[in-house]
């Protein structure tokens, strides 16, 4: 007489399931071992504040300075490493000059090799961060942002709609330099 479903036949299956679950748990937790919550530069979140001065625009494209300034403020708030100072009380003062706006055609209409349908747009700004207390320049370098513009029926309209995305990409790159800097 064979005993297929006896109480002893379930014990090895339960033991294997426990070991498998324990192994998966250990593997899952070890993947998070090096993760640190919060700022990547070692400072406490919100310990310092940043004031963003309006960016000036030296290009022929209108409103780029305003768009970059607004996106810099948004990105610094989103990141959370620094508090955003709205009056003259920031520990770090960020300023900049938009120096280049470049439009490069990527693809063309099949029937007309001279008419572009998609453009890559690149924005470059000279961004400066200074410590308010000492006046020391923390960094002063070119920062770029880029995005894709799909023309449709009106290039001017398409570029205007892409402007916040372009400014946001530049702001993301500038914020990364500010928060990850070892200065």
Residues 95-134: pLDDT tens digits?
999 999 999 999 998 998 888 899 999 999 999 999 999 9
Residue 104 DSSP label = E
Handedness of CA 56, 59, 61, 64 (dihedral sign): negative
Handedness of CA 5, 10, 12, 16 (dihedral sign): positive
In CATH terms, the superfamily for domain 44-180 is Lipoprotein like domain (3.30.160.150)
pLDDT of res. 37: 47
pLDDT tier at 12, thresholds 50, 70, 90: confident
Q: What tokens does 54 get?
A: 């309006």
Q: What tokens does 70 get?
A: 């607004």
pLDDT of res. 47: 74
Q: Which residue has the higher pLDDT, 168 or 8?
A: 168
pLDDT over 80 (residue 14): no
Of 7, 81, 75, 67, the residue nearest 37 (C-alpha): 81
Q: What tokens does 132 get?
A: 């308010």
Model confidence, pTM: 0.75
Spell out the domain ranges in the chain. Answer: 44-180
Residues 34-87: pLDDT tens digits?
545 455 555 555 578 999 999 999 999 999 999 999 999 999 999 988 899 988
Mean pLDDT of 154-167: 92
């Amino acid at each position: 007489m064979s005993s297929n479903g006896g109480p002893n036949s379930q014990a090895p299956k339960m033991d294997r399931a426990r070991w498998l679950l324990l192994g998966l748990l250990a593997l899952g937790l070890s993947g998070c071992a090096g993760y640190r919550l919060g700022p990547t530069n070692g400072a406490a979140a919100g310990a310092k504040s940043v004031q963003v001065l309006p960016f000036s625009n030296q290009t022929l494209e209108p409103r780029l300075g305003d768009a970059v300034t607004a996106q810099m403020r948004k990105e610094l708030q989103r990141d959370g490493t620094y508090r955003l100072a709205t009056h003259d009380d920031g520990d770090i003062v960020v300023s900049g000059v938009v120096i280049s706006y470049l439009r490069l055609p990527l693809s063309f209409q099949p029937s007309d090799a001279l008419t572009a349908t998609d453009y890559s747009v690149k924005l470059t700004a000279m961004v400066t961060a200074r410590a308010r207390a000492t006046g020391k320049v923390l960094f002063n370098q070119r920062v770029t942002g880029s995005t894709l513009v799909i023309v449709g029926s009106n290039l001017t309209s398409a570029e205007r709609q892409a402007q916040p995305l372009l400014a946001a990409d530049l702001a993301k790159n500038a914020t990364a330099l500010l928060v990850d800097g070892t200065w």
